């Protein structure tokens, strides 16, 4: 009898993927809701595993791959982002790398729109005012925000999530939707989104939703120079990756009123320390990276990660393969 393939899972994860894998593989877990410490990963991965089921918090670099040794055939991350994995090193070792595209699109798009409205309508300040007793008689100019109606909606990165955000915002009756990405995309026509240069996006958008991956090209793209070009009334929302924004520059821009407000679901670093200067600002709403936090999304992410692993074992096409890009 041939031995079952061995999989190392770096966290407790939703059951759908685990139940599927258990039908034909032997699983070992880091049995915790918290990230595996690096030294534990380096130690535990040496057990001759065929697959690594990992999270975006696990840095999978040469050292980890070296420790895993030549049995490792696939690194499957339960995330869309895969910037934590050294793709070149995996390719050199013939290790397939796969992510979970598409299955969290709706969840992240819904969160992005929620965060935009939360920020533009100053809802958190309103909730705090009720709780603290600051809410007094009605005042004509208290806690006034910005509407989306008749505004220019900007999207930076019109991939699946950016498209999902734009599609959800379209019924708000904005003047137009503009986007910038590395290339024009044909599906932008479905929602009447117009491709513009990065400069035009900054200058014309009343709100900008950042929905892109972190790459060398997008790293700190939103910096002091960019904020100076944006409208002073603009709202900036980031549900892509924290590193797309230069956070010290964002702080200055918010304090100096170069832009009106920011809503961040992703930060640099994560977690952002509670004493970070951005946390102290009323015009900066920060969430703890909750884009894909729905049961629908997390169950699908777990299942997709499992299917990616099995596809490698079965020598089938791998749905989320990124090592071939």
Q: Which residues are catalytic?
A: 289
CB nearer to ligand DGY: pick between 5 and 157: 157
Q: Which helix (H) or strand (E) holds 237?
A: strand 235-238
d(CA 160, CA 197): 20
The alpha-helical segments, DSSP class H, found in the chain are 15-22, 38-44, 62-68, 87-92, 105-120, 123-132, 160-169, 198-204, 224-229, 247-255, 295-313
Interface with ligand DGY includes 304 (CB under 6 A)? no
Query: Contact 87/61 with Cβ under 8 angstroms?
Result: no
CA distances (Å), 60 to each of 68, 114, 199, 264, 265, in order?
Answer: 10, 32, 35, 26, 24
Considering the complex, state which of residue 76 and residue 80 has its C-beta at the smaller distance from ligand DGY. 80
Supply the minimum distance, in Å, between the C-beta of residue 241 and ligand DGY: 7
Minimum CB separation of residue 299 from ligand DGY in Å reads 13
Q: How far is the CB of 266 from ligand DGY (least distance, A)?
A: 7
Min dist. Cβ of residue 322 to ligand DGY (A): 12
Judge whether 144 and 120 are in contact, CB under 8 Å. no
Q: What track of x and - describes contact with ligand DGY for positions 259 through 298 (by CB under 6 A)? A: --------------------------------xx------
* DSSP, residue by residue, 22-35: HTT-EEEE--SSSP
Instruction: Give the nearest distance from C-beta 46 to ligand DGY in angstroms.
Output: 27
String of contacts with ligand DGY for each residue 75-104, x by CB under 6 A: ----xxx----------------------x
Distance of CA 34 to the CA centre of its chain: 19
- Quick note: the x/- pattern for ligand DGY over 23-62, rule CB under 6 A, is ---------------------------------x------
Closest to ligand DGY by CB, 234 or 286: 286
Residue closer to ligand DGY by CB (options 55, 153) is 55
Count of residues interacting with ligand DGY (CB under 6 A): 7
Distances (CA, A) of 201 to 152, 157, 163, 228: 9, 11, 16, 13
- Interaction mask 104-133, ligand DGY, x per CB under 6 A: x-----------------------------
The single residue listed with the structure tokens 């900066």 is: 284
Q: Which stretch binds ligand DGY (CB under 6 A): 42-50, 74-82, 131-139, 308-316?
A: 74-82
Residues 41/49, Cβ–Cβ less than 8 Å = no
Query: Applying CB under 6 A, which residues contact ligand DGY?
Result: 56, 79-81, 104, 291-292
């Amino acid at each position: 009898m041939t031995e079952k393939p061995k999989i190392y899972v770096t966290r407790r994860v939703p059951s759908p993927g685990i139940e599927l894998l258990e039908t034909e593989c032997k699983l070992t877990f880091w049995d915790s809701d918290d990230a595996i410490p690096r030294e534990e990963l380096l130690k535990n991965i040496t057990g001759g595993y065929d697959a690594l089921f990992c999270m975006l918090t696990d840095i999978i670099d040469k050292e980890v791959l070296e420790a895993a040794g030549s049995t490792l055939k696939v690194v499957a991350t339960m995330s869309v982002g895969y910037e934590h994995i050294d793709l070149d090193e995996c390719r050199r070792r013939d290790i397939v790398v796969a992510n979970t595209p598409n299955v969290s699109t709706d969840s992240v798009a819904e969160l992005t729109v929620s965060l935009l409205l939360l920020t533009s309508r100053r809802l958190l300040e309103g909730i705090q005012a009720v709780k603290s007793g600051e809410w007094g008689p009605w005042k004509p100019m208290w806690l006034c925000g910005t509407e989306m109606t008749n505004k220019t909606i900007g999207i930076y990165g019109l991939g699946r999530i950016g498209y999902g955000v734009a599609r959800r915002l379209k019924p708000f009756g904005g003047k137009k939707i503009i986007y910038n990405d590395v290339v024009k995309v044909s599906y932008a026509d479905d929602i009447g989104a117009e491709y513009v240069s990065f400069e035009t996006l900054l200058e014309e958008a009343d709100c900008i939703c950042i929905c892109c991956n972190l790459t060398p090209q997008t790293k700190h793209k939103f910096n002091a120079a960019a904020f100076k070009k944006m409208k002073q009334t603009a709202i900036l929302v980031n549900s892509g990756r924290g590193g797309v924004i230069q956070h010290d520059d964002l702080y200055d821009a918010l304090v100096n009123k170069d832009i009106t407000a920011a809503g961040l679901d992703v930060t640099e670093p994560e977690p952002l320390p509670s004493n970070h200067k951005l946390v102290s600002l009323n015009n900066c709403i920060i969430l703890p990276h909750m884009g894909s936090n729905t049961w629908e999304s997390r169950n699908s992410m777990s299942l997709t990660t499992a299917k990616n692993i099995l596809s490698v074992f079965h020598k089938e096409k791998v749905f989320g393969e990124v090592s071939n890009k």
